A and B are shown apart, each in its own frame.
Chain A
Amino acid sequence: MGTRTGMEVSAAISEAVKLARAEIIAAYPITPQTHIVEELARMVADGELYAEFIMVESEHSAMSACVGAAAVGARSFTATAAQGLALMHEMLYIASGLRLPIVMVVVNRAMSAPISIWGDHSDIMAERDSGWIQLFAETGQEAFDLTIQAFKIAEDQRVSLPVVVNIDGFTLSHVIEPLVVESQEDVDKFLPPFKPVIQLDPDKPITIGAVGFPELYTEIKKQQNVALVESYKVIIEVWKQFREQFGREYHPIETYRSEDAEILIHIAGSTAGTARVAVDMLREKGEKVGLIRTRLWRPYPFGDIRKTVAKAKAIAAVDRCLSFGGPGGPMCSELKAALYNLDQRPFIAGFIAGLGGRDIMIEDFFTIVEETKRLLEEGQEDEYRMIGVRE
């Protein structure tokens, strides 16, 4: 049985890593990830978690050490943010290319310059194509649950890919939330010990990380993509098992009052909480507004998105990241790409908000919905707007 308690979300993630019986933690401190690794270091020091904690000299080495540890068959975890994630960039592609089931929590933070320790999604969006399974949490409970699920998804032998769980810096990582912490016994039932597909073992010597010549590189990359796309089925399976065992339900796309909605707000991460309040307030005024939230970002749930938005007139796609000189927010672009070939598709208005820790307020969502209605009437497409900019 789980215990309902109040807990800082970072501590809840550390608790999940402990319950998952992670064997290697390799991490380098960076705000706002620090509370996660501090708590894990304490757990190891106090003998609550029997893991090797490698306090590496950089994030690049954190991911490198996770790669080495996963290659010998140890369950490996790291956490980082922003500049740290960017420093890992090279290693992210190698971790997924070598098919190593590492789990990482990214405490989303804005990219420098100007240097900012506060939250937005520009760090993870730069790693969009790195071949990792990518999830976004909205709440502390979800962050806890996704972290445990991430190990099961990653280590499934049909998948064998690394997984990143995104949580918003400060607005999620540093708040205390009520949540259920599951028991070790139950988590053990859900998550069996790690059985690697490939392993560095002197009794069965293998070569990992060989040179791929042009005759084979494309085929290897296709295999990797097939594995990532097909991980969708396993993710759904894991969520089904999770619901059966723990009672909490997970879907690639979460919806709120979306069934009859004419305008759907789309967002990822903790801002969905504010959006939900805005939806309720607009509904009271008789506006047919709903919310969709992307939880599964890679593999991208094309089918779920198409089904969810089929009846809407317009989508207000809100990104906490700006693709400079491009079509606006990366999530908005993906929505457009997913819907473009449909005969009937909703109008999509793109919005950029919440950069570098700027709060997205309930009123901002009112503005977003108003703007979307206006643009829909005027039929203006292919534009995006930045919300709350002081001119």
Chain B
Amino acid sequence: MPEEKQNPDFIPRLISPREFFAEGNRGCQGCGEALAIRQFLKAAGPDTIVCSATGCVEIISSPYPETAWRIPWIHVAFENAAAVASGVEAGIKILKKHGRYHDRKINVIALAGDGGTADIGIQAFSGALERRHNFTYICTDNEAYMNTGIQRSSATPYGASTTTSPAGKESIGQTTPKKDMPMIAAAHDIPYVATCCPSYPMDLLAKAARAFNTEGPAYLHVLSPCPTGWRHESHLTIEIGRLAVETGVFPLYEIIDGKLKMSVVMKKRKPVSEYIKHQGRFRHLRPDEIEEIQKNVDEKYERLLHRAELDQSLEN
């Protein structure tokens, strides 16, 4: 387009203006998931089928007879987004062979939250990755069962108070560390794994495009701030996503054919307290407990940097 030639660096012109996830969906104000979906669908384009797990996304986007989806979309159950996507992918493959489907590339996406991925859906998830279906699994991680009322999942971070891991006299809240889904995905030796966050739209779009262009299974883990569940002000969604990255709580990286590469290395990371101070789910934490979390984040981050260094040195 001529405008692009005049000003190629003007970011909005680099992104498709088409919206495949309609405005007016029933997401909460400041919903990180809705934003993430809007973004990755721009990278996917119209030749895309989304297989959604039960959860917030399904509820906010498909109150019959309304729908927010401008691409073909199917929701089946909670634990099986990956299995449904397996059937969709294999179905298209055989129909194409028989000349009974469009002979063009169709992006098949399985979309689930952290509960639908790390807990109830991990079996179907693992099975579909192992079988090497040509699809992209996207986990929009808001770190608890938000749809049912903020219950803890295995992706809830240590110290977060939820309705089933409430902070109290005898408890810090969530007592276990967050399950590391991107690394579990990577352990399946799939060709592409990436972490991203809608606070960094260009990074998310680029990674989504790479995932869709990957032959075989790809996995995107999207940190999706949730004002309702994290108890932060809704205008802070973008800010909190950035702080998650800037503090090292949620590092952005890619694992391409088994080799880890940091998308950005935070040489001077902000203190974790900057990230958690905005969020009511961490309100109860004492300074010594925040210090403990800081220590864990630092350790994990350093380990990641070492792995990235090692992988890049093997590359060379």
Contacts and interface: CB of A to CB of B under 8 A. Distances in A.
B205 interface: no
A68 B87 contact: yes
B84 A67 contact: yes
A208 B88 CA distance: 13
A94 B76 contact: yes
A23 B67 contact: no
Contact of A56 (B63, B83, B91): B83
B86 A193 contact: no
A154 to B, nearest CB: 16
B87 A213 contact: no
B75 A209 contact: yes
B42 interface: no
Most chain B beta-carbon neighbours within 10 Å: one of A26, A55, A68, A202: A68
Given A72-B95, A74-B91, A210-B62, A205 B71 contact: yes
Nearest to B51: A68
Contacts of B49: 72, 200, 202
Nearest to A74: B91
A69 interface: yes
A62 B106 CA distance: 22
A203 interface: yes
B289 to A, nearest CB: 39
Interface residues of A, number: 46
B143 to A, nearest CB: 23
A52 interface: yes
A61 B127 contact: yes
A210 B63 contact: yes
B102 interface: yes
A90 interface: yes
A389 to B, nearest CB: 39
Q: Which 9 A-B pairs have the closest CB atoms?
A: A68-B87, A57-B127, A65-B87, A64-B83, A69-B91, A209-B75, A61-B83, A74-B91, A69-B87
Given A23-B91, A206-B73, 14 more contacts: A23-B94, A26-B87, A54-B90, A68-B89, A71-B87, A71-B91, A72-B95, A74-B91, A74-B94, A76-B87, A91-B77, A202-B46, A208-B74, A210-B65
Interface of B: 46-49, 51-52, 58-59, 62-65, 67, 69-77, 79-80, 82-95, 97-98, 100-102, 106, 123-124, 126-127, 130-131
